[in-house]
Amino acid sequence: MATTVSSTGTEAGIQNVFAFIRRRWLWLLIAFLALLPIIGGKTGYISNFWFLQLSLMIVYAIAVLGLNLLTGFNGQISLGHGAFFAVGAYTAAILIDQAGWPFWATLPMAAVTCFVAGYLFGLPALRLEGHYLALATFALAVAVPQILKYRHFEGFTNGVQGINIFKADPPFGLPLSSDQWMFLVVLAVAVLMFWIARNLLDSRTGRAMTAIRDHAMAASTMGINVPRYKAVVFGISAIYTGIAGALHAIIFEFVSPDSFRFELSIAILVGAVVGGIASLPGAVIGGVFVQMIEKYADALTKKISAAVHLPLELEPWTIYGIALIVLMYTMPTGIAGGLAALWRRMRRS
Amino acid sequence: MKISKLLLAGIGALALALAANPAEAQKKYDDGASDTEIRIGNTNPYSGNASAYGVIGKTIEAYFKMVNDKGGINGRKINFITYDDGYSPPKTVEMVRKLVEEDKVLFVYQTLGTPSNTAIHKYMNGKKVPQLFVATGASKWGMPKEFPWTMGWQPDYVTEGIIYAKHILANVKDAKIAVLMQNDDYGKDYFGGFKQGLGKDADKIVQVATYEVTDPTVDSQIIQLKNSGANAFFNITTPKFAAQAIKKAHEIGWKPAHYLNNVSASIGAVIKPAGFEAAQGVITAQYIKDPTDGQWKTSPDIVEWTAFMDKYMPQGDKTSTFPVYAYAVTSTLAEVIKRAGDNLTRENIMKQAASLKGVEVPLLLPGIKINTSPTDFYPIQAVQLSRLKGEVFERFGDVLSNEAASQ
């Protein structure tokens, strides 16, 4: 008798734990990530280089989130978000390098610069719909590296050579390396940015954004100022991507025009689509995808073709291409959408 | 009784350990070095617009394979880890961080490109990891006071620029000079030296055109330079653009006295693609033996190099100077590692690299030797001018050293 009682007790306890995990999985995940520097750093299992990689994933997640807000929730296509990424990165790098600002102070400044840039670019671009907007933003992405190299800006941008900056050491004598410390900073900023995005989407403004995406004319009839909303959303989207750019400059310790070629804009877009457009978890998956697949597809292709002794030489980007095609066929709503569908099917059966 | 025996044995063991220690103590290792292995890191452009240089990385890899087949250096195998950076500085930064922090290499060697090395210059010196014999001739690699962990190898661009300028002033009548340069520190370094060499005659430069390393062609720049009416042309370009420039100038019938910077002085990678006819009379400065030059055919170092190419790089291009360059510079490095002996600390590697006195390295032109000191981080400072005739560069005049150039 007594044993049965205790066993149901543990069962209930286990179920409680599972329920707790299900309800609080997001917080648990964040707490786990926040503890990583202490676990990994002390045991030495995770090198500083890996903390840089993790930080970069989070940074790209923020950038992808910016594009998600614009494209996924507001229906405007941008092929030029790399440009805002570059503006944010250069704002941070120039302020740190030439004005001696502390790194954290450059983030709000990057946000302001990018909002202004995004809003101003958004205004005239409103006359352009769909494909035309995509092309206009694409032109922006192509132009930015050239502008950064422009001779008369060299005093600020240092031309093609770019700007080297140094990462901040952790404050208060914390026993962390600067990479571990910056990982925590990036994580905190990301949590804040995602939290703001979720609240924004849950608000009147968020519903107006999606209404415009679904049917602009109907939204307008309901009293939504469509052009203004579109421009503001463009600005907000630029803030997100710009802050990601600033963080990138700070943790990477280097900016140059070549860091922000138009391939970056495409990478952000691919990340958004692969992760799952119009989905916040999708942005995180997209960020991981941008950093991992994009950067290592080349090495992976080589390794695989060497491992299976392929008789033909694969092009560097083969794996990347194959992965993209397979993903788009099997998970047309992105990885986040695909996983959600899989989860629903498993629960039903 | 038993205890005292044990004690005695203990003391004996301790004494043995102590006796063995002095020998052990001479072996000193930093990250990346051990009794059996030395890890060396590198980035090279295996893809992208400067991928012609990728053969340098591949040759170095093959060289170390040869070294390892012969038993390594001082009994240690060399583990050469090389990554593609596509000549893109941000990629170099990431890959070099991986090399230093993840692969834990003892030092970084022959990272290629002026912009790429500039991007990691501060990082390497901040981390105190040697950035040794970088594959670029910018003058800024020889600043031991400010950057004690960075050293170049080839003659610096400033010196070379001065030599061309002097030659133009002495040999081209009423010189009107056009310059094509890559828009970065590499181009500016050459151009700076060139202007320094012209001195008060700098106004003889009638037109300067630039290109970005990401540009597809330099055709329009060449047309612009021709239209300036220049009769002398200083061509500061990397291989792909050098070939384009030579070809285009020939196509549009522009025949200036053509000075090609040494970084593109390769028959296989530049002159052949451009066309031998188009490149007749091109002048460049050399410090390594051109493998296509018949006079070296029987010299022992070229024979040794040819055997190496046949065995370890069977698909390699034996008309290109890049594998020659890679073989020569890696021989220098092998000498440095050999001299470092069992003291494989980063500090000792730099110390050995900075104390090469009159070291002879295979494949350098006769009369050119390696010289460094704690205040002289420019290993090679001499070149000889040569002119393309037929299918080879013919050397003329004396070996010109830095001192001769700045007179």
State pLDDT tens for residues B163-213. Answer: 999 999 999 989 999 999 998 888 999 999 999 999 999 999 999 999 988
The number of helices, as runs of H, and strands, as runs of E, in chain A is 15, 2
CB-CB: which of B93, B98, B212 is closest to A254?
A: B93
CATH of the domain at A87: 1.10.3470
Number of domains in chain A: 2
| B405: pLDDT strictly greater than 50 | no
For residues A55 and A41, membership in a common domain is answered with no
On the 0-12 / 13-18 / 19+ scale of CB atoms within 10 A, B367 is exposed
| pLDDT tens-digit map of B353-369 | 999 999 999 999 998 99
Q: Is position A2 within any domain?
A: no
Mean pLDDT value across residues B111-115: 91
Q: What is the pLDDT of residue A340?
A: 86
Q: Is position A1 within any domain?
A: no
Smallest Cα–Cα separation from B129: which of B349, B346, B340? Answer: B346
Q: Minimal Cα–Cα distance from A47 to chain B, Å?
A: 6
Q: Is position A198 within any domain?
A: yes
Task: List chain B residues with CB under 8 Å of A317.
Answer: none
The chain A residue lying nearest B87, using CA atoms, is A258
For residues A29 and A127, membership in a common domain is answered with no
Size of interface A-B (CB pairs under 8 A): 61
Total residues belonging to chain A: 349
For residues A38 and A137, membership in a common domain is answered with no
Task: List chain A residues with CB under 8 Å of B119.
Answer: 161-162, 164, 254, 256
The answer to whether A251 and A45 have CB atoms below 8 angstroms apart is: no
For residues A174 and A40, membership in a common domain is answered with no
Q: Is position A3 within any domain?
A: no
Three-class DSSP category at B387 = strand
Q: What is the pLDDT of residue A127?
A: 76
Q: Minimal Cα–Cα distance from B185 to chain A, Å?
A: 7
Please check whether residue A258 touches B, CB under 8 A: yes
CA–CA distance, A197 with A236 (Å, rounded to integer): 10
- Whether A164 sits inside 8 A of B97 (CB atoms) is no
Residue B325 Rama label (left phi>0; alpha psi -120 to 50; beta): alpha
| pLDDT tens-digit map of B213-227 | 888 899 999 999 999
For residues A18 and A100, membership in a common domain is answered with no
Percent share of chain B, pLDDT over 70: 92
Predicted confidence band of residue B11 (pLDDT cuts 50, 70, 90): low
Q: Which of A50, A149, A160, A161 to mutate to test the interface with B (most CBs of B within 10 A)?
A: A160
Q: Minimal Cα–Cα distance from B120 to chain A, Å?
A: 8
Average predicted confidence (pLDDT) for chain B:
89
Q: What is the pLDDT of residue B23?
A: 46
Please check whether residue A296 touches B, CB under 8 A: no
CB-CB: which of B84, B123, B184 is closest to A161?
A: B184
Q: Is position A148 within any domain?
A: yes
CA–CA distance, A59 with A189 (Å, rounded to integer): 9
Q: What is the pLDDT of residue A45?
A: 76
Q: Which CATH architecture has domain B157-286+385-406?
A: 3-Layer(aba) Sandwich (3.40)
CA–CA distance, A145 with A90 (Å, rounded to integer): 11
CA–CA distance, B312 with A155 (Å, rounded to integer): 48
Please check whether residue B127 touches A, CB under 8 A: no
**Do B37-155+297-376 and B157-286+385-406 agree at the fold level?**
yes
Q: What is the pLDDT of residue B59?
A: 95
Q: Is position A30 within any domain?
A: yes
pLDDT in tens, chain A (349 residues): 444 445 566 677 777 777 777 777 788 888 888 888 777 766 777 778 888 889 999 999 999 999 999 998 988 888 989 999 999 999 999 999 888 888 889 999 999 999 999 888 888 777 777 788 888 889 989 998 888 887 777 777 777 778 888 777 777 777 778 888 889 999 999 999 999 999 999 999 899 999 989 988 898 898 888 888 888 999 999 999 999 999 999 998 889 888 888 888 998 999 999 888 888 889 999 999 888 876 777 677 777 777 776 666 666 677 788 888 888 888 888 888 888 888 888 887 7
For B37-155+297-376, CATH gives: 3.40.50.2300
Q: Which domain holds residue A24?
A: 12-46
Predicted confidence band of residue B24 (pLDDT cuts 50, 70, 90): very low
List chain B domain ranges. 37-155+297-376, 157-286+385-406
Task: List chain B residues with CB under 8 Å of A298.
Answer: 84
Enter the tokens of residue A165: 């900056």
- Whether A259 sits inside 8 A of B97 (CB atoms) is no
For residues A126 and A37, membership in a common domain is answered with no
Q: What is the pLDDT of residue B404?
A: 41
Q: Determine which helix (DSSP H) or strand (DSSP E) holds B42, and give its type and residue range.
A: strand B37-44
For residues A214 and A332, membership in a common domain is answered with yes
Please check whether residue A318 touches B, CB under 8 A: no
For residues A31 and A68, membership in a common domain is answered with no
For residues A24 and A85, membership in a common domain is answered with no
Please check whether residue A317 touches B, CB under 8 A: no
Report B:149-208 residues touching A (Cβ under 8 A).
183-185
For residues A39 and A130, membership in a common domain is answered with no
Q: Minimal Cα–Cα distance from B397 to chain A, Å?
A: 37
Contacts of residue B405, Cβ cutoff 8 Å, sequence gap at least 6: B159, B162, B163, B166, B197
Task: List chain B residues with CB under 8 Å of A252.
Answer: 90, 93-94
Mean pLDDT value across residues B320-326: 92
Q: Is position A283 within any domain?
A: yes
Mean pLDDT value across residues B108-120: 92
For residues A135 and A153, membership in a common domain is answered with yes
Predicted confidence band of residue B402 (pLDDT cuts 50, 70, 90): low
Q: Is position A293 within any domain?
A: yes
Q: Label the pairing between strands B392-395 and B400-401.
A: unpaired
- Whether B98 sits inside 8 A of A252 (CB atoms) is no
- Given the structure tokens 């400072």, which residue do they identify? B381
| pLDDT tens-digit map of B222-278 | 999 999 999 999 999 999 999 999 999 999 999 999 999 998 988 888 999 999 999
Please check whether residue A50 touches B, CB under 8 A: yes
Three-class DSSP category at B148 = coil
